[in-house]
Structure 1
Amino acid sequence: MTHSDKFRLPAGALVAVCDGRRALFLRNEGDQAFPNLRTREVHEQDNPPTAAQGTDAPGRVHQSTGTARSAVETTDFHALAEAAFLRRIAERLEALLAAGEGTALVMVASPRALGVLRPLYGRAVQEALIGEVDRDMVKLPVYEIEKHVAA
């Protein structure tokens, strides 16, 4: 697998562009010489900030000996929701590729999202993956993504 930012995308290749809240699955409807990325699927998740999701004060723990107490770290609901979303994205990509819906795969995601996604790659994703781009491009228009990714 290469870590370049530009790839030769064969016809039918998928380009997955995602972060923790939004994912675009693009498919090369052109050929390797003249790629033409078209949107195949869009996935979005409403994920309000953690402050809006959990408003209780942190819990307290009593030590088993003595009178000392300590705070329990608050749950980051935002990070949990992002991880769950990325897990669903990885599962969807696996299903698409296992069904023969793509000839190859380029994953484009923020470094943080890639860190969550990599351990979730199934067999079909691992076999189809021709490269990764560790940049957040999910808000760019498709033609801009194409310019950044296609060689």
Structure 2
Amino acid sequence: METFTVRHGAWVVIGDGKKALVLHNEGDAELLNLRRVSVRENHNPATRQQGSDAPGRSSSPAGAGSSSIAGTDWHQIEEDRFAASLADDINTAARGHLFKDLIVVAPPKTLAELRKEFGKDTQKCIVGELAKDYTHHTIPEIESLLLTHRPQ
């Protein structure tokens, strides 16, 4: 869904696993006027700051040697939790009919996690998706960027 229209009343969710903006279009499709519905930030230190143990090792029963076991990526787990929590809030809003159209903008990993967590009511409202990170842009910049994805 690379082209879409951000109609009046549409919600735009911008997230990256650490920060999320939920915006509401009070303008129309040609002249966006995005207003903040909510903002969330999640303090999520690097995995090396969250875990203290080195990855484990396993040995072969035949005594042929040992191998390391991949360490747990605590940082990614927390980003996935954050996305699931955001999706849960969006699902609640969809069930409450707070929006008819939804545009989701997130990096590919976060977008995949959100898709996995969105319920049927939310999925029916999605009119556009972008696998991009817009969380570090201002609202006027986001409006301009979204207009570039409008059908001509």
Who is 1:47 aligned against? 44
Match of residue 120, structure 1, among 117, 142, 147: 117
* 1:67 Cα deviation from its structure 2 partner: 6.3
Shifted more, 96-105 versus 59-68: the winner is 59-68
* 1:65 Cα deviation from its structure 2 partner: 4.0
Alpha-carbon contact 1:58-1:71 (below 8 Å) kept:
yes
Residue 88 of structure 2 is aligned to residue 88 of structure 1: no
* 1:29 Cα deviation from its structure 2 partner: 1.2
Residue 77 of structure 2 is aligned to residue 103 of structure 1: no
SS of 2:32's equivalent in the other structure is coil
Instruction: Tell me how many residue pairs correspond in the alignment.
Output: 148
Who is 1:63 aligned against? 60
Who is 1:24 aligned against? 21
Q: What's the Cα RMSD here?
A: 1.5
Alpha-carbon contact 1:107-1:132 (below 8 Å) kept:
yes
Gaps of 5+ in 2: none
Who is 2:2 aligned against? 3
* 1:103 Cα deviation from its structure 2 partner: 1.9
SS of 2:128's equivalent in the other structure is strand
Shifted more, 31-40 versus 75-84: the winner is 31-40
Alpha-carbon contact 1:20-1:86 (below 8 Å) kept:
yes
- The one-letter amino acid paired with 2:2 is H
Cα separation, 1, equivalents of 2:36 and 2:50: 31
Who is 2:134 aligned against? 137
* 1:35 Cα deviation from its structure 2 partner: 2.1
Q: Report the identity percentage.
A: 34
Cα separation, 2, equivalents of 1:74 and 1:147: 41
State the Cα deviation string for residues 34-76 of structure 1 (Å, max 9, x = none): 3210010011100001111112111122434436332221100
Who is 1:75 aligned against? 72
